[in-house]
Amino acid sequence: MLEPLAKPAWTPAAAAHLLNRAGFGGTPEEIAALHARGLDSAVDSLLHADDDSDLFPPPEASVPEYMDKYRRMFPGMSEQERKKVQTEMRREARQLMDDLRSWWLNRMRWSPSVAREKAVLFWHGHWATSVEKVKDPFAMWQQNETLRAHALGRFEDMAKDVSRDPAMMRYLDLVQSKSGSPNENFARELMELFTLGEGHYTEQDIQQAARAFTGYRINQTNRRFLMANSQYDDGVKSLFGFEGNFSGDDVIGLIAADPKCARFLARKIWRFYAAENPSPELVEALAESYRRSGLDTGALLGTIFLSREFYGPDVVRHQIKSPVQWLVQLCRQMEIPLPGQSDGILRQLGQMPFAPPNVKGWDGGRAWISSATLLLRYNTSGTVLSGADVNFDALMPVKSDSCDLIAWRLFQAPLPPELNAKFSAYLKDHGTGIAARRDLVHLMMSTPDYQLT
C-alpha cells in the first residue's frame, strides 16, 4: 500500500489531476510543463516552491492599530456620538475584511506556490474560526499567516502556535480562562475536532487540559499572545494516563505523540486531497507514514501525491469542487482574473473565507451541491465568462479539433460519449466564432462533470 505510481501511469491526465488536487488546477501549458518534469520532480516542485511573500504585500488588515483611533475618541463622548463612532468602526472592519478576502483569494489565483495555498485552505477549514465572532480583521490576517507558516510543516508546531493565536483564543474563549475557573471550550475542541476525534479522550482529560491552557491572554498594545502567569494554574494535572505540571504546549505534545492523532489527521487529509471513505488499511498506512515523519504534513502529502492510490479510478474526477476550488480553478483555466464580485459568489455558494459556519468548518463533499447551488454555479460561470476579457483566439484557436482542445482545458479527461456528441453538435450548429466558443465553454461548465475534479 502507498506504493509509488508506475512510470507509464504518469500521463498528462495524471499531471492534471495532481495540479488540480495539490493546487487549483492550471492551463494546458502548465499541465504539460508539470508532466515533463516527471512525477518525483513534479511533486517536489509543488511542495518546495519558493516563498512568494514578496509578490503579495500584506493587506491593510495587517496593521493592528486601525481601531485605536476610534478608541481614543470614546472618552467624553455622549451615547449618541459613541454609537455613531461604533457604526463607523464596524464599517471600516467590514471593508478591511473584504480587502483581506480579496488578498487571499488572489493569492490562491496567482501564487506560484499553489500547494502551500491549498494547504492553507485545508487548515483554515480544520482550525475553523470566524470573523463573525472574532470581530477583528487583524486577528484573522494573523491566523492566516500562522497557518501559511506551518501549512506544509510539523503539525505539533502549528498546533502550539494556533493555541496562542488571538483569533482562536477569542473564538474558543481562551482569553476568559484562568486558574480556579478554566474554560473548557478550547481543550474540548482541540481533542474532538482538531487532533483525536470523538471518543478518544475522557471528560477528565478535557478538564485537566483546560487547566493547562489557563492564563492565555492578548496584549492589547500589539494584539499578540501574552502569558499572564498570575492566571495560570501551575498545579499537577492528570491526563492520558500521565501526571505533571503540564503547560498547554505539553498537552499538545502528549496529544501529538498519541498514534490516534496521526490516524485522525491522516484520514482527514486524505479526504480533503483524495477521496471520501478511505479503507482502514489505507488510513493506517497513511498514519504510519505521518508518524514516521514526525507529523510533517509536507512529507505526508509527498507520500500521497506519489502513491498509486492517489491516481486510482475511485479518486480521479470523483471529488466535488468546493466553491473556492471551483472559482479559482475556473479563473486559472481560463487565464482570467477573479471576478470583482468573488465575495458575493462564494457567500451564495456556501464557502465564505474567514467565515466558516461553525467550529467544525465546512462539511464538504456532497454538502457543496444542492439544486440551488448547482444552478447558481451554472449561471455564475456564464456571468464570469461574459464579464472577463477572455482571449479565445489564443486559448482556443479554431481548428478541426477545437471541441477537444476546449474539453481538455476544462476537464483533462475523456468525457461520456453523449456529452462529446452534444458539444460537437453545438459547434457544428453555431460555428467557431468567439461568441460560439464562449457559449460552448459555458455549456461545458454547466454540466455535472465540470463540478468534479
Dihedral-angle region of residue 241 (phi above 0 means left; psi in -120 to 50 means alpha; beta otherwise)? left
- Rounded to an integer, what distance in angstroms lies between the CA atom of residue 336 and that of residue 347? 21
In a domain, 328, yes or no: yes
Query: Over pLDDT 90: what percentage of the chain?
Result: 85
Tell me, yes or no, whether 92 lies in a domain.
no
- In one-letter notation, the amino acid at residue 103 is W
Q: Give the HSE-up count for residue 103: Cα atoms under 13 Å, Cβ half-sphere.
A: 21
pLDDT for the residue numbered 400: 67
Q: Which domain holds residue 354?
A: 323-451
Give, for 94, the enclosing helix (H) or strand (E). helix 79-110
- Would you state the pLDDT for residue 404? 86
Whether 116 is in a domain gets the answer no
pLDDT for 378-399, tens place per residue?
999 999 999 999 998 888 887 7
Q: How far apart are CA 292 and CA 276, in angstroms?
A: 24
- Considering the domain boundaries, does residue 362 fall inside one? yes
Place of cell 471520501: 276
Residue 295 in domain: no
Does the residue 34 lie in any domain? no
Specify the pairing of strand 237-239 against strand 224-227.
unpaired
What nine digits make up the cell of 303?
Answer: 507520500
Per-residue pLDDT tens digits for 88-100: 888 888 999 999 9
282 confidence band (pLDDT: 50, 70, 90): very high
- Whether pTM > 0.85 for this model: the answer is yes
C-alpha cell recorded at residue 334: 481560463
Question: Between the CA atoms of 80, 81, 83 and 84, what dihedral angle is there, to the nearest 10 degrees?
Answer: 120
Q: What is the pLDDT of residues 20-45, one digit of tens each?
A: 999 999 999 999 999 999 999 999 99
Nearest CA to 121 out of 156, 143, 147, 97 is that of: 147
Asked if residue 444 is part of any domain, the answer here is yes
Q: Residue 64: inside a domain, yes or no?
A: no
Handedness of CA 343, 349, 352, 357 (dihedral sign): positive
Per-residue pLDDT reduced to its tens digit, 139-179: 999 999 999 999 999 999 999 999 999 999 999 999 999 99
Number of domains forming the structure of the chain: 1
